[in-house]
Amino acid sequence: MAKIQFLKGFSEIQLSNPENLMQTLRKHNIPVASSCGGEGICGKCQVKVINGEVNLSAKRKLESDCLIRNGVHEKNVRLSCQCTVMGDVQVDTNYW
Ligand code: FES
């Protein structure tokens, strides 16, 4: 069992299986910015991983390229549409 925690504003989410981060957040009515619908193109679904980055799936080229294109170089920033939660994580955005 994994959990997603937040710095502020939202209650912890419990997962019994690995799930896509953005889909899980939206399923729990937590807003996630997007203009590409989760295709890894717009870069708007970024989240800062406060804890547990090792518990997210590895970055693929599509995600890395999109982050670079959007001027993001911090290793703990991920595209929520492109990562799978496999263990406990704590995430934040600048609009929550
Ligand atoms: S929703 Fe567009 S890159 Fe994730």
Both tokens assigned to 96: 């929550």
How far does the centroid of ligand 1 lie from the alpha carbon of residue 41, in Å? 6
How far does the centroid of ligand 1 lie from the alpha carbon of residue 81, in Å? 6
pLDDT above 90 for 21: yes
Both tokens assigned to 76: 């703990």
Cβ of residue 66 lying under 6 Å from some atom of ligand 1: yes
Contact 57, 14 (CB under 8 A): no
Both tokens assigned to 73: 């170089």
| Domain 2-92 fold | Ubiquitin-like (UB roll) (3.10.20)
Q: Whose CA is nearest to atom 3 of ligand 1?
A: 40
pLDDT score at 60: 97
Please state the rounded mean pLDDT for residues 18-26.
98
Cβ of residue 42 lying under 6 Å from some atom of ligand 1: yes
H-only helix segments in 28-94: 61-69
Q: Is the pTM of this model over 0.85?
A: yes
Please state the rounded mean pLDDT for residues 48-66.
98
